[in-house]
Amino acid sequence: MKEKHLFYADSTSIAQGVLSEEESRHALKALRVKPGEIIWLTDGNGTFHEARVTETDKRNCWFQTERTLPDTPRWKGRIRIAVAPTKNADRTEWLLEKATEIGVDEFILLKCAHAERKSVNRERLERIAISAMKQSYKASKPVITEMTAFDDFLQMLAPDTQRLIAHCHEADDKDPDSFDLTPAASVFLGDIVEPDADTVVAIGPEGDFSPEEVEKALKNGFRAVSLGESRLRTETAALVAVHTMSLIKRRH
């Protein structure tokens, strides 16, 4: 039995065409695909394409889609995460890969007052999302919304979006000189995620949200949440938020 493999093709060539150089190489060298065989493709827009290989040569694999099949939704509502890119780009890329495997609809990159990195390598992020989508046999690629100013982020959300924010500002009554080990008291994310809603969780950057950003978010319908009792790095917090949402919103 052959390794199951999901190929990617962009939406302009998914009905019929030729696999990309990299995908053709994998099909021909690793999987030894021959004309007449069936392969599966997706363009990341929610549908699997069952296609027949029509022709191959040393470097190219041509195909023709015969049947399409919608991906089975694994969760209800929409899972969206908003986070500033980390100082170390690897950590954001890792987060995108893992969030895509677990399941996320939109990955919003924020410009924040206390975040050091102001830009990302969009092309690289797209490649990582496509690779993780294929790896986890999904037909939907998360939407990557690039470098959105915090104020624009607050305005871009539909009125019925459930809005949550995780930040580390401590309650005013804590002793600033103590080594206080508990996070700022607030509601636990898992206890208030609405299973069917479009939910967005904004995660504080490495320098945290500024007090002004938190205040603006709260004025725009956001509610502060905790992600549990542990102090987490930015990218860990974002992944924990995605996984917590996926557990509450799961269909099975």
Contact 59, 27 (CB under 8 A): no
Nearer to a copy of itself, 114 or 250 (CB): 250
- 240: tokens are 């924990």
Which residue is listed with tokens 């004025």?
A: 219
Nearer to a copy of itself, 74 or 127 (CB): 74
CB of 220 to a copy of itself, least distance (A): 28
Question: Residue numbers of the site for a copy of itself (CB under 8 A)?
Answer: 1, 4, 6, 40, 48, 50, 71-72, 74, 94, 98, 101-103, 135-138, 176-177, 179-182, 188, 190, 228-233, 236, 239-240, 243-244, 246-247, 250-252
| Calpha distance 37→18 (Å, rounded) | 14
CB of 32 to a copy of itself, least distance (A): 16
Nearer to a copy of itself, 33 or 157 (CB): 33
- The values of phi and psi at residue 23, to 5°, are -70, -40
Nearer to a copy of itself, 58 or 252 (CB): 252
Contact 196, 77 (CB under 8 A): yes
Helix (H) or strand (E) holding 230: none
Contact 129, 121 (CB under 8 A): no
Nearer to a copy of itself, 118 or 250 (CB): 250
Contact 140, 115 (CB under 8 A): no
Cβ neighbours around 103 below 10 Å, total: 20
CB of 25 to a copy of itself, least distance (A): 20
- 98: tokens are 């893992």
CB of 170 to a copy of itself, least distance (A): 10
Nearer to a copy of itself, 102 or 112 (CB): 102
CB of 133 to a copy of itself, least distance (A): 10
CB of 98 to a copy of itself, least distance (A): 5
| Calpha distance 226→140 (Å, rounded) | 29
| Calpha distance 1→134 (Å, rounded) | 19
